[in-house]
Structure 1
């Protein structure tokens, strides 16, 4: 048997030699003590640390924690690149619910065995780290991946955890959502349930690295941090406004070279593969899951305003659901949260307040009963096929399928209007703006700090009035609604536009405009403020023009030619209330979150030169022959 280091909260035996309590000391007695066991005999939990061997001999650092007296209990596993030691050591408390994260409280109190593991190459685990390690196949000929590591881990745990009932569930958000999905590919027989939350699924189409071909600059600092010293890395570039920092650097490639980041292999993977080739498409987890049989009951979770991985969970649901013949193996949950918000407090997001702690409510009423049923034999909770939180009216709702609404086109109109009536004029009615790469539209009010969590986490609910007054942002608005409009699904953009350049980006925002006089959503601060006139984004997305004829076929745009750009906004459940207005904004940059498009076609935008960045006249059409619209998935 592989030797284990067991840490039990039973005694002080692990304290290395020190003075006996009665021994006389002098002013010069050395005060250093070799170690001190922070888990005291009065602790209400047991904690173990193991190095679990994988099939290739690599050993993975694994922490197991449970309440004292736990027996015949299920294991709840998370596989992480973000430090398993920290997950089970958040404080020096002797209470298990103060040592672990808030999302674990209800499970540990109910005698679950909680296990956290560092994936290979990260923190205390052995081996090499590969970001989103591809599944064994065309891109990975080693026979080792996150699926095999999950299998080997589960196999070891059920054999070496005497308190276990032999059943395992897996859960995790973001990268941990990715490893959760990987565990479902050729799963271990003991794996009985999975909850992938905001999983990283397709980093090019709509998750972390690109969105529809536009590069996300915050990927750079993430790559540096993850790839340095087993995950301990940090960038040191100061506190300058990132808007200025990236603008002054030039291209994103120039920024990478300026700070010496070009030596990082994952950054080279990004830079060398700007288009959707096999390099990315063969890694796409939704495409892999579409080919896999349904073996593990799966609850997919995402936040409606997930600023990092809004694409993944709905994409996997779409891939898996057709195989769910009885509508009881795969479910989708969309909550009113930011990225990974399901595992934190869900009272509010930015300036929005909800009814109670929506995250805890979901975990207690839906997620834990789901695990209890499959891992503890509890009665079937009849998990809803689709569970979403209707923002605007603040209530959980159940649907039998997703999307639940029926598409109805909301058309851009002359005089900056919006209407469900299609334009009737057959002429080339359009509006124009000048997109200047030297003055890109910021994605949040300046100053911009991409690594500031206070700005980053709620940015998708940022009041858009800061942008709607700019001359390079087109604004289309309806009249005040006389009745509510409820949407359930992903609004779909159908934009007819032309540019005077040979490349360009197109950003579309769907916005809920609050009345100018309202007491809705009161927020408490130094003074009480309402959301009067608030422009709440319901969905924001970007599309890189060069890919209009295929993500794997970048090509120059023909100046002046009207092209049709079709892409989806994030999946939502939202009610536009009476008295509110619908708004659509169109622009050509979201900087510096997304890199600037030079608007002159170059082979690789990472290496665009200063002379490539040119102003362009952008025309957005709203005629009978070119009817720009956003389709809303409306439910009655």
Structure 2
């Protein structure tokens, strides 16, 4: 009797050679040379693979790959639910060894007898149904009753009933979009779900993940929307915008909406959702996962992980942690911050751009914390007693454990006269001004810009900021060299007073660790590549029209100082003696974010060329306009 009635393709222990049949017909010169399939799981393979279609409560079947080492019994299941092709997740090489085929993050698990499960979420790649980007939880935005929470529940229910090698315990993990599906599985979770690790999760696409940051739109979201929207028919289509400088491409197109029209993606459903929802309406707030989780008691032990220099989703994990950390009676909750890019925890963690660390930091956290966490909850291994926060102190290269997060106390770093920065409030007041021209926006990396270049994209948050030195539209406030270490543990807060001659404005703030010019390498006195390096330890943007209300934008009053208050990314960083802190302020970060016309229009996606105007910006300091960056200084 077949114990797996829903198995679409059985790739378990092969009983016959790959092309075996009872009586092979003689071949001739005209025998067709196409075979129906080739089963790569040969009898000598050390693993079992099953490709199955798992039914959901509405009858939709989701493509799922189950792999495990041969001989596994009473084993835990580790699941991830992905929009990025489950079939490809177990096709990373040509080998008869499972450890060679799975992602690096999975190798220790499959070698230790875990059952690894990869699934295409509904409507994409080999799964049935309709794909909806970040499908909202069933409720006001989703009347179907079907969401990523119910699909996770139904998948887990099927797995524990139909995988005989299982011990009935399931863990879930994943990064980015998979971090989103991990968190959604914890809303109304299946009883068999015992532990979760959400890495760089997409949590709130308007506040600070993927699509917008504090109202400013990330234009590369158009490319991603097209790619995801063609996950079946056209297998990840791309816009034909050429291989030239993306700075020039986006500038020539005009607004983000004009760019979408130029390349024919303005009618892609999710692109329309972006264009039609530029403010923080119920469309966005109703999908915010931190809000959804805060409304329910956390019952699944959870680790929330992100990279200190996560260039895509640095908002989500700290937001969920903040929403849940004080919840009475909740399950274990740990925040992890490593010295990584987006999803860097699952890859090699020796370096990032020009930075090098003390060994493979990603492998260290997976070995010392993530796997023991799953082993404890899924296999009954000793409790690793994970603290509230596990963070890597960049600057001194060591892992730290903390009983709470943030650990730092709010300490203002004031902006002052002569573009100074210091811990004492300025004795006099004044302002620094510059002209921001949308026709010549500040690039976020040195030109030429190639948003599709992985090396450029994954390292932009650690790029030496000296490339904008000398631009008249970038203002730098510099502190004095430190005489002792300054340890920052938390999210620095911008508290800045700015005025504009326009009726809208963006504020971009960069917190920078400036290395001394005599930074040594390979011996005393050597001037290495880090000499004078201006290392960003936090970059963020805020769109002025949302100062009073994220949901209801208003024009700014020309000439009047407005108080901008917003958070920079969460960090654990030590600024060493001899280094100094700098704060850079500008009004564009292009083409990472769309240009602000600097004159108020109802919808910036639809701004016309005549709406874009140069404006004079002023930052106040001292007196009634005590601009500062509030640093989380740890003891």
TM-score (norm 2): 0.96
- Counterpart CA distance in 1 for 2:152 and 2:138 is 13
CA RMSD of aligned residues (A): 1.8
The answer as to whether partners of 2:203 and 2:209 remain within 8 angstroms in 1 is yes
The Cα shift of 1:12 comes to: 3.8
The answer as to whether partners of 1:410 and 1:629 remain within 8 angstroms in 2 is yes
| 1:133 alignment partner in structure 2 | 135
The Cα shift of 1:38 comes to: 1.6
- Is 1:602 matched up with 2:601? yes
Question: Which one of 24, 47, 50 corresponds to residue 48 of structure 1?
Answer: 50
Structural mapping, 1:118-129, within 5 Å: 118-129=120-131
- Is 1:498 matched up with 2:499? yes
The Cα shift of 1:19 comes to: 9.6
| 2:219 alignment partner in structure 1 | 217
Change beyond 3 A, Cα 1:267–1:42: same
| CA deviation string 1:150-179 (max 9, x = no partner) | 000000000000000000000000000000
- Counterpart CA distance in 2 for 1:28 and 1:256 is 51
The answer as to whether partners of 1:521 and 1:530 remain within 8 angstroms in 2 is no
| CA deviation string 1:17-55 (max 9, x = no partner) | 6996xx987776655444322222111111101000000
- Counterpart CA distance in 2 for 1:240 and 1:16 is 51
The answer as to whether partners of 2:427 and 2:622 remain within 8 angstroms in 1 is yes
Give the SS at the match of 1:263: coil
| 1:414 alignment partner in structure 2 | 417
- Is 1:398 matched up with 2:425? no
| CA deviation string 1:586-612 (max 9, x = no partner) | 000010010000101000000111111
- Counterpart CA distance in 1 for 2:209 and 2:515 is 29
| 2:246 alignment partner in structure 1 | 242
Change beyond 3 A, Cα 1:6–1:19: closer
| 1:88 alignment partner in structure 2 | 90
- Counterpart CA distance in 2 for 1:165 and 1:467 is 57
Change beyond 3 A, Cα 1:301–1:324: farther
| 1:274 alignment partner in structure 2 | 278
| 1:531 alignment partner in structure 2 | 530
| CA deviation string 1:72-96 (max 9, x = no partner) | 0000000000000011111121111
| 2:381 alignment partner in structure 1 | 378
| 1:300 alignment partner in structure 2 | 304
The answer as to whether partners of 1:324 and 1:330 remain within 8 angstroms in 2 is no
The Cα shift of 1:558 comes to: 0.8
- Counterpart CA distance in 1 for 2:371 and 2:386 is 11
Question: Which one of 288, 292, 311 corresponds to residue 288 of structure 1?
Answer: 292
- Counterpart CA distance in 1 for 2:228 and 2:249 is 22
Give the SS at the match of 1:458: helix
Structural mapping, 1:121-200, within 5 Å: 121-200=123-202
| 1:311 alignment partner in structure 2 | 315
| CA deviation string 1:279-304 (max 9, x = no partner) | 11111000111111121001110110
Alignment gaps of 5+ in structure 1 = none
Structural mapping, 1:495-574, within 5 Å: 495-519=496-520, 529-574=528-573
- Counterpart CA distance in 1 for 2:253 and 2:576 is 44
| CA deviation string 1:531-582 (max 9, x = no partner) | 0000000000000010111111201111100000000000000000000010
Change beyond 3 A, Cα 1:436–1:19: farther
Give the SS at the match of 1:64: strand
- Counterpart CA distance in 2 for 1:539 and 1:630 is 11
| 2:350 alignment partner in structure 1 | 347
- Is 1:233 matched up with 2:236? yes
Give the SS at the match of 1:69: coil
| 1:479 alignment partner in structure 2 | 480
- Counterpart CA distance in 2 for 1:3 and 1:459 is 46
| 1:387 alignment partner in structure 2 | 390
- Counterpart CA distance in 2 for 1:371 and 1:528 is 45
Alignment gaps of 5+ in structure 2 = none
| 1:444 alignment partner in structure 2 | 445
| CA deviation string 1:503-533 (max 9, x = no partner) | 01000000000010112599xxxx9942000
Change beyond 3 A, Cα 1:18–1:38: farther
Give the SS at the match of 2:368: helix
- Counterpart CA distance in 1 for 2:569 and 2:274 is 23
The answer as to whether partners of 1:351 and 1:521 remain within 8 angstroms in 2 is no
| CA deviation string 1:97-122 (max 9, x = no partner) | 11010000111110000000000001
Give the SS at the match of 1:155: helix
The answer as to whether partners of 2:539 and 2:569 remain within 8 angstroms in 1 is yes
- Counterpart CA distance in 2 for 1:521 and 1:631 is 36
- Counterpart CA distance in 1 for 2:399 and 2:190 is 34
- Counterpart CA distance in 2 for 1:400 and 1:550 is 34
The answer as to whether partners of 2:520 and 2:527 remain within 8 angstroms in 1 is no
What count of residue pairs does the alignment treat as equivalent? 627
Give the SS at the match of 2:182: helix
| 1:72 alignment partner in structure 2 | 74
The answer as to whether partners of 1:352 and 1:521 remain within 8 angstroms in 2 is no
| CA deviation string 1:387-422 (max 9, x = no partner) | 000000000001111111001000011101110001
Give the SS at the match of 1:105: helix
The answer as to whether partners of 2:443 and 2:591 remain within 8 angstroms in 1 is yes
The Cα shift of 1:469 comes to: 2.3
- Is 1:364 matched up with 2:367? yes
The answer as to whether partners of 2:17 and 2:42 remain within 8 angstroms in 1 is no
The Cα shift of 1:186 comes to: 0.6
